[in-house]
Amino acid sequence: MDSFKKLKQYYWPYKKYFLLSLCFLFFVTVITVIYPIILQQTIDRVVLMDRYELIPYICALFLFLMIGKGFATFYHQYLGDLFGITAVYKLRDGLYHKLQRLSFTYYDNAKTGDIMSRLTADVEGFRFFLSFGFAELLRIVLLITISLGVMFYFSVPLALVTMAAMPFLAIIVFQFDKRVHPAFRLIRQSYGKLNTRVQENISGMHTVKSLSREDFEIGRFAHRNDAYRQHYLHTSFIWSKYFPLMEFIGNFCAVALLAFGGYLVIDGQLSLGALVAFFSLVWYIMGPLMNLGFVINQFSQAKASAERLLEILEAKEDIVEAKQAITEPIQGHVTFQNVTLTYVEEDDAALKDISFDAPPGKVIGLIGSTGSGKTSITQLITRFYEPQSGDVFIDQKPVSDYQLKALRKEIGFVLQEPFLFSTTIRENIAYGNPDVSDEQVIDAAKRAQAHEFIMKMPDGYQTLLGERGMGLSGGQKQRIAIARAICINPKILILDDATSAVDMETEFRIQKALREVMKGRTSFIIAHRIASLKHADEILVLEDGKVVERGTHDFLIKNEGPYQRIYDIQYQDRDEIMKRQHA
């Protein structure tokens, strides 16, 4: 029960619904046990004693009890559902809040489909046990306890014969739980992997079709689907193995009851009505005991689900705010002092002893081969990751001293592959600053060279976009992302290859507009095209996580180092064309 104890904060505040549901459950159980007593009285006092005038009263009592049981059952089930649904509502909220707080380190190793599986199937499995499992377990205990009490009242020897089978049934139930729980955990894990396979396939459908890999993807899905099927079949085998044993013990107990009970009736030690009532009561015991297998089935699923949910809730939060976090606006002075960053302990460092200073309004260019550490620098500014050594300062204060929300509100980020939401173009541009006016949205779009193509859309700025901006070209998505960054009026602007998907003419216009936007802001430009960096105040050339060159464009061109080699590669063809034209 450790998993349930750890999740107690989500369901125990609503215990009043659960306890009220149990009160009605107790009433339902008592009425259920009264039925055999009424049957015993009908046989012994009405049929055997020829007192048929009592039948109307017995029928009226029976009808009254059925109506009462109907109302009690309604409130028991409704309050039980209310308890489970309300608790899971808070649990789902807690999971989502936790996912928002987890750093990129967690998402670097997580699978989207698996997370979705936990927030849907696992949450629902836990809810089902909260709503029905706990109550069903208590119903079994109550029904067995009250039924045994009545049986001992009728006949102690016959009650002892009935109880003789219970230890064997309990052993089988215990063994069943021991084997079925790991099986259900494997089912949950394989279901998460199956979801991940589907999610990745749908997200990468363009790549799949462009490379004609449909058959390969079908095979990969079939593999995951078969693993899920095999785990379910294994669980079904466990269930099929133990349930007949439980049913056999129940039936054997019923036969023993009829044999010994019949002897007691013939010997005059037990009335016929009591034997009939006894036979009903024994199934009130054996039935719930066999049903205990179903409850354990539910409990095992809920326990496996709870463990998977706790893996999210107890995941380490790598990025933690200081107790007295700074919330004041920043000026944008960024300083790196001997910073080293390693994403995975066993891997090589992504950044090695990086140092530079970027006062407010300065433009820093970052260039280098793929994997050289350009993006890693900007992710430390926004504190997406923590450095292993060294310090990152903003306005001469450690970046870890700032409140995350306040810090990131002051940083405009445009990624190489921008993400757009399935909503209107206006809401996408205003996403970082929802209170911005329509005039400011339009101004930001104009600066990003996006206004013209937006106005050609069916509904202009109110045009609804498809998932991830479906329907727009890569360049159009990037221009909307640039407008979104401009709209928050950041003190620090980070452009991570932000113009890589636009044509040269559009890039020129965007760069011209961005120069105006970057005035007074500390800006970091990651680019592979030297043309995007020529105007930077300082350019850092990175190789293998180290700064191997730094300076202005004019200085680096004359330095005959890595920057000049990149320049020669990019401009060699153009120079040769110019020479031919002059010749």
CATH code for position 540: 3.40.50.300
Domain CATH number, residue 272: 1.20.1560.10
Residues 254 and 362 in one domain: no
My answer on whether 306 and 366 are in the same domain is: no
Residue linked to tokens 């700064």 = 547
pTM of the predicted protein model: 0.73
C-alpha distances in Å from residue 480, one per residue of 410, 418, 437, 515 = 19, 9, 16, 17
CA distance 308 to 299: 14
The residues facing 523 across adjacent strands are 363, 493
Contact 32, 142 (CB under 8 A): no
Same domain, 171 and 222: yes
pLDDT at 203: 67
Which among 316, 482, 477, 479 has a CA at the least distance from the CA of 412?
482
Contact residues for 443 (Cβ-Cβ < 8 A; gap 6+)? none
Tell me, yes or no, whether 471 lies in a domain: no
The residue assigned the tokens 């199937």 is: 121
Beta strand pairing call for 334-341 and 389-394: antiparallel
Q: Please tell me whether residues 342 and 309 are part of one structural domain.
A: no
- At residue 577, the pLDDT reads 45
80 and 23 in a common domain: yes
Written as one letter, the residue type at 224 is R
Q: Per residue in 441-450, is it b (16+ CB within 10 Å) or e — as a string?
A: bbbbbebbbb
Mean pLDDT per 10-residue section of the chain, whose length is 583 residues: 84 90 91 84 78 82 88 92 90 88 80 80 85 84 85 83 76 77 79 77 68 78 87 84 78 78 81 80 76 74 86 85 86 93 82 92 89 88 89 92 88 81 88 88 87 89 80 80 86 81 68 73 86 87 91 87 84 56 50
- The answer to whether the Cα torsion of 476, 480, 486, 491 is positive or negative is negative
- The dihedrals phi and psi of 430, each to the nearest 5 degrees, come to -90, 10
Residue 403 lies in a domain: yes
Is 169 inside any structural domain?
yes
- Answer for the pair 511, 499: CB distance below 8 angstroms, yes or no: yes
Report the candidate in 6, 1, 296, 299 with the shortest Cα–Cα distance to residue 125: 299
Residue type, 49: M
- Same domain, yes or no, for 308 and 367? no
Residues 332 and 399: beta-carbon distance below 8 Å: no
How much is the pLDDT for 524?
92
Task: Give the structural domain span for 231.
Answer: 2-313
Helix (H) or strand (E) holding 438: helix 438-447
- Please answer whether residues 388 and 349 qualify as being in contact, where contact means their C-beta atoms are separated by less than 8 angstroms: yes
434: which residues sit within 8 A by CB, 6+ positions away? none
Q: Specify if 254 maps to a domain.
A: yes
Domain finish residue from 255, 278, 313: 313
Cβ contacts of residue 365 below 8 Å, gap of 6+?
Answer: 524, 525, 527, 532, 533, 536, 538, 539, 540
- Residue showing tokens 């479906």: 470
Q: What's the total number of domains in the chain? A: 2
